[in-house]
Structure 1
Amino acid sequence: MSFYEEVESKWKLEKPIYEALGSEVQVFLKNEILRREVFPEITYRTKDLLSIIKKIERKSIKKNYSYDDLKDKLGLRVICSFSNQLEMIDKIIHENFIVEKAEYKKDDLDFDKLDYTSNHYDLKINSLKILTEKEESFKNLVFELQVRSINQHAWSSSAHTLTYKKESEIPSNLKRKVYRLLSLYEIADDEFSNVNIALQQEENGMAYRYIRKLEGKIYRFAKVDFDRQTSLWKLKVFFKPFDQSEQVDLINQVSAFVDNNEKKLESIYNEYLRDFHRFPSLTQPEIFLVFYMLENYESTLESIYANELDNNELEKIKGIWA
């Protein structure tokens, strides 16, 4: 059997197992990150046969390298909105997987070096956490996980398109241009995080402040994203009867209300999980304000719906909460 036939035969047997592992880990990671009230983009892919053969041939030039040495037959990628969320995801990974190798690009990067900053891991399933009896075939498989912010991912994709891997491969006359480009991505990453924090503290942006405070609860309970324009419009309507200081109190009270009613909310969302198309309000963060007002400001809420919104929607929400 030739080298090519041997690799093809092995991959034909292993690929479905890695596909199943990728699906399992994707779901597990998404649920764990959503529980921390962050909405990630998580994808996975198994390496195609041609890429496997090319990588073995390329690696074999400098050292002995075989099919069994490949660590990225399965690769997963987590992309989060802000760079300051990477630390939280790193904690999830170390708590729930066997970390064979962790590489933090930013820590290894000198100030004058050219590369994107993201976290790379070689992992195994932790049998105590997510391995079930029917998935014994997963136990010893190593797979790759990359965790990046949106801007880190944008830079990585651009660098891949430019087809360079190492700084030494870039002609000297172009290095300055690439340095400038990379600096823009890094500045954007930092500034997006800073602006996000600042907007949450902005006294005049109560609707935005509410969304930032409560959007994580939607990720946690509904496990879907929401329509921001709808939220901004409805929240302005709901906030009208309250002055600014009352609005600040209201946001904090709703957040505490959600925490205090965690079990009830989990029960509601489990019951309506497959019916969000019939009850879309359940997928918007302002629903928690409505639930809170049903308990504390019912007459005010009824007046708002009677004058500016849809009474039928309120009746549906009353039925759900009751």
Structure 2
Amino acid sequence: MKGKILKDFDIEKSTFNDFEEKIELLILELIKNEKISIHQITGRVKERTSLDKKIDKKDNKYKEISEITDIVGIRIITYLESDVDRIAELINREFKLDVENSIDKRKLRTDQFGYRSLHYVVSCKEERTNLIEYKRFKGLKFEIQIRSILQHAWAEIEHDLGYKGITSIPDAYKRNFNRVAALLESADLEFDRLKKELTKYESEVSQLIKNEPENVPIDQTSLLSLVQSDEVINKAREIISKNVGCSFTKNIDYSSQIELFKNFFNIQTIEDLKKSLSHHEKVYLEFVNELTKPLNYTTLPETLMIFYYQHFLAAFEENQDRVEEYLRLGHMGKENGKFIRLIKIAKTTSNNV
């Protein structure tokens, strides 16, 4: 039987390779459509030598190549454990599940720690294999392993240590082995909890800014929300768009601006920033107008309005030492020539408004 299976494998190898490529791209597209962020998706076709060993290991129980369900394999690594379940739901919906050969290796006994991963064996549903590009893959099964990045880290380290499973570890080291596994499992749960809390905060922050801005600290989420809603920022956006002829791309990296607001300008809360913007509105908008007249870009990041406001605050004081300190803290290098121009613009606009 083994000889026939290996011969069939050699004949069908190109089909397996095509199937793996097609399925990997399909699953990646399905995941993107669901807006699930993943760390990695990889695929492989089992090597002939590996298949040979598997047949021997199973005491030649296989009679046909179709009985071996993991010749084609897909591995999906998620960032969060909760996303394993989301992808599992997606796979259940889009493919035909082989329940008998699928196993949820995340379900350990209460006193167990260690390798955790969801292993599904699936095939394409009839409606997909009726499509011409999938017709030749009808009946082919493949294995999908789905696990979080921390579960994957455990699996890789376990493999590197050379001990497959807790039972193979010498008794003297089992306690330490379990302790590390428990830490990773706890970290998975904590990251999931943190993600839920951050998502809740993101959904509530716009209302918090409206109702109690004095209690909203300057952070990534609050700045992003303010950029979308503040009247002064919106006016600056319109001026830049008109002068430059550009559109704005969403940018969520405000880390440099956050550091400068807190440590250089002593602006700690959204209320502090809103009051500052309101106080300097006329001069700031004229500053933006003068600054952007010579520019010509097709797209600019939405962080620009905040970035320019910090330029304005630094230049408005007309203090060269202050400007140099601002440049240093903002990791912008020595751009004194540029900032002499900004100081002049700030001075001119201040006199004109």
Please report the TM-score for the alignment, with normalisation by the length of structure 2.
0.59
Alignment of 1:230-245 (within 5 A): 231-233=253-255, 244=270
Contact 1:199 1:208 in 2 (8 A): no
The one-letter code matched in structure 1 to 2:74 is L
Which residue in 2 is equivalent to 1:23?
Answer: 21
Asked which structure has the greater CA Rg, the reply is: 2
Q: Which segments of 5 or more consecutive residues in structure 1 lack a partner in the other structure?
A: 213-227, 248-299
2:9: which partner in 1? 11
Write the deviation string for residues 55-110 of structure 1: whole angstroms up to 9, x where unpaired: 1001117x566644211100001111111111211111111000012322233x11
- The corresponding residue for 1:78 is 76
Q: Distance in 2 between matches of 1:96 and 1:77?
A: 17
Deviation at 1:206, TM superposition (A): 4.0
Separation in 2, partners of 1:305, 1:234: 23
Equivalent AA in structure 2 for residue 9 of structure 1: K
The 2-side partners of 1:301 and 1:103 are apart by: 61
1:160 aligns with 2:159: yes
- What's the TM-score once normalised by structure 1's chain length? 0.64
Q: Is the 8 A contact 2:124 2:139 kept in 1?
A: yes
Whether 1:104 and 2:125 are equivalent positions in the alignment is no
User: How far apart in 2 are the matches of 1:301 and 1:126?
Assistant: 59
Count how many residue pairs are aligned between Structure 1 and Structure 2: 244
Alpha-carbon spacing, 1:119–1:3, altered in 2? closer, same or farther (3 Å) = closer
Q: Structure 1 residues 312, 122: CA separation in 2 closer, same or farther (over 3 Å shift)?
A: same
Residue 196 (structure 1) shift: 2.8
The change in CA–CA distance for 1:179 and 1:135 in structure 2 (over 3 A counts) is same
| SS of equivalent to 2:74 | strand
Cα drift, residue 305 of structure 1: 9.0
Quick check: 2:218–2:258 contact (8 Å CA) kept in 1? Answer: no
Letter of the aligned partner of 2:11 in structure 1?
Answer: L
CA RMSD of aligned residues (A): 3.8
Contact 1:7-1:67 at 8 Å conserved across structures? yes
Structure with greater contact order relative to length (CA < 8 Å, sep ≥ 6): 1
Residue 177 of structure 1 is matched in structure 2 by: 176
Unaligned runs of 5+ in 2: 203-215, 226-249, 274-283, 302-353
Distance of 1:246 and 1:13 partners within structure 2 = 71
CA distance in 2, matches of 1:80, 1:28: 17
Pick from 284, 296, 316 the counterpart of residue 312 of structure 1.
296
Q: 1:14 to 1:174 in 2, by over 3 A?
A: same
Change (3 A) 1:317 1:186: same
